Chain A
Amino acid sequence: MNSALVELQRVTKIYRLGEVEVPALRGVDLRVEPGHFLALMGPSGSGKSTLLHILGLLDRPTSGQVLWNGHDVSKLNGKKLAELRGRHIGFVFQMFNLIPNLTALENVELPLVFLGVPARKRRKRAEEVLARLGLSERMHHRPTQLSGGQQQRVALARALVTDPALIIADEPTGNLDSATGREILGLFSGLNREGRTVVLATHDPEAAEVAKVRLRLRDGLIVEVF
């Protein structure tokens, strides 16, 4: 029963915009088990991103519990959460979110910097991951010198460099043309086949096809699993 990597129990999230309370999640139960490949689907405003952020320990629920490997982490402080994120979770975003001042290699090294990995070891590891994603030639380029697909692969390399237990991707193909999008999705399924747990959010049904399980969200609730 406790084999879940992340488990959400009756999680709600309410945003306060001035006087108005906007419910983003209204009691979500979800288990993400090792090796899972989940796709969160639903229109914008359905709570996909909020759910991803809570799964990725970037945000705390308003109520309910978040269990990470069976431990309640919803009350942990920012420092502890940052540590868990840095060590066990890799993020891929729609906007790639690379640091523009840093080269591809340096961007990929960044998570290891915050884990305190020595420079040489860090560099070697980042080079390996970039090579696996076919970016050996572009390592020393800045993000602006790379195509969208290349940038997203750098972002994926950055997510993978710490060898995380969970990869979280928020609309990873949203800013790519469909061919490049398919290529990136292929990388995700490859990673899942290697045994990595992946949760991605998308509103593109084609993208959701690569996942093993699809969850449909509407108005802050999971309304369909298929």
Chain B
Amino acid sequence: MLRDLFRLSLRNIRHRGLRSWLTVIGILIGTAAVVALISIGQGLQRSVARQVERIMGYNTILVTSGGLNLGQRIRLDIETIRAIPGVRSAIAVRTETAYVEGPNGKGFLAVLGYDPAMEEFVAEMNLRVAAGRPLSERGEVLLGSRAAQALGAQVGNDVVIEGRRFTVVGILEAQRAGGFATGGLTITDLLVIPLTELRELFPGPELVQYAVIRLEEQASVAEVRERIRDHLRTVGERNASLTDFEDLTRNIQSVIRGVQAFLAGIAGIALLVGGVGVMNTMYTAVLERTREIGILKAVGAKDIHVLLLFLFESGLMGLAGGALGMLMGFGLAWVATAVVSRMFQTQGSFSPVLSLALVFGALFFSFMVGAVAGIFPAYRAARLPPVEALRYE
């Protein structure tokens, strides 16, 4: 019997033709907007997860100053951290402000201490030697391109840092925009000298901007974190905060999710308006078919049959709008990400994701919007007294 009612509903929807389509379009637009935004959001989340993974790897812990002040530095001994079981490699990034004299300029500039262990972290450091070669021994310096300009220095020139003479062997460019690994400084503004020499120029307690610690594959992140904390406590460092890959991803994802929920909520309003459209269509249908409802009741239809008949109709329209809207929304998301990718030249960096949950969620939700919008009209139809319904012209 349900199947028969269902077929009858379908027949009625098709019979209304254009009006059914217009109603369906209301749901379609809402669903398309929601699906497009969510699939883009999920694509973004996935791409962020992948990028963070690429930059840090699963087994990386970042030690930064916990304070809001970026310039604040942390007291730690990188050798002790390297000795912690489970740590594969670790670097501490230390910069100092030094008085520098070049062939054609002078001033206070940031100097970063280079540690051979940093080789492994080049991607994180965002370094690229644009001219000349990397550091290989004492007495050599790399200049960020802007620092080189300020000093009027080129590869082969000498510069004097805090009274000590260094030979310029290379010029640095940023590998790409952004990058977190310079402790709040832009790589092109820096000078890079061997860490040992930086320590000689600035003796005293070792204070670093941040440290990057890479773990052995099987190492427990929690255990290593605890050991690092122990070390920080021992040296009296209280402001440092530890972040691992999961923390970082979680933070970024939660921001994306928040934005996504907000946008999807707005798009949901469109879906709600679609639901009002369904309700309107169904009320009209009940009025138009009042007599038909009387006939159905005369031939033995119970209230529940009439109720279901109308609920199926509105639910089906919702479902149709949902299915079409989902396809359209996903298509829209594809086009939008392609356009944005081209505009920002980040081609292939991310594409929208149509997850199974989104597919079924969208279908279920649009069906529910239709069905809920149909409840009042259907209830009114079901409660019509048969004689009055039959008399209706």
Contacts and interface: CB of A to CB of B under 8 A. Distances in A.
A66 to B, nearest CB: 14
A82 B300 contact: yes
A110 B8 CA distance: 10
A82 B297 contact: yes
Interface stretch (B45-53, B64-72, B384-392): B384-392
A114 B300 contact: yes
Contacts of A79: 302-304
Contacts of B387: 53, 58-59
Contact of B302 (A78, A91, A93, A102): A78
Nearest to A84: B300
A85 interface: yes
Chain B interface, >50% SS class? helix
A101 B12 contact: yes
A59 B386 contact: yes
A56 B294 CA distance: 13
B286 to A, nearest CB: 15
Given A53-B387, A99-B292, A114-B1, A91 B15 contact: no
Task: Give the interface size bracket for A toward B.
Answer: 20 to 34
B296 A116 contact: no
Task: Give the interface size bracket for B toward A.
Answer: 20 to 34
B259 interface: no
Nearest to B389: A58
Contacts of A97: 291, 294-295, 298, 390
A102 B300 contact: no
B301 A101 contact: no
B305 interface: yes
A110 B299 contact: yes
Interface in A65-117: 78-79, 82-83, 85-87, 91, 93, 97-99, 101-102, 110-111, 113-116
Residue of A79, A93, A101 with most chain B CB atoms under a 10 A cut-off: A101
Interface in B1-58: 1, 4-5, 8, 11-12, 15
Interface in B105-164: none
B1 A113 contact: yes
A158 B301 CA distance: 14
Given A97-B291, A101-B12, A113 B302 contact: no
B295 A87 contact: no
B305 A101 contact: no
Given A101-B15, A113-B1, A86 B299 contact: yes
Residue of A82, A87, A97, A115 with most chain B CB atoms under a 10 A cut-off: A82
Nearest to B5: A113
B1 A58 contact: no
Contacts of A162: 300
B300 A86 contact: yes
B302 A114 contact: yes
Nearest to B386: A58
Contacts of A91: 298-299
Given A85-B299, A110-B299, 5 more contacts: A85-B298, A86-B300, A102-B8, A114-B296, A114-B305
Interface of A: 53, 56, 58-59, 78-79, 82-83, 85-87, 91, 93, 97-99, 101-102, 110-111, 113-116, 119, 158, 162
11 contacts: A58-B386, A82-B297, A93-B390, A97-B390, A101-B12, A101-B15, A102-B11, A114-B296, A114-B302, A114-B305, A158-B299
Closest 7 CB pairs of A and B: A86-B300, A114-B300, A111-B299, A82-B302, A59-B387, A113-B4, A97-B295
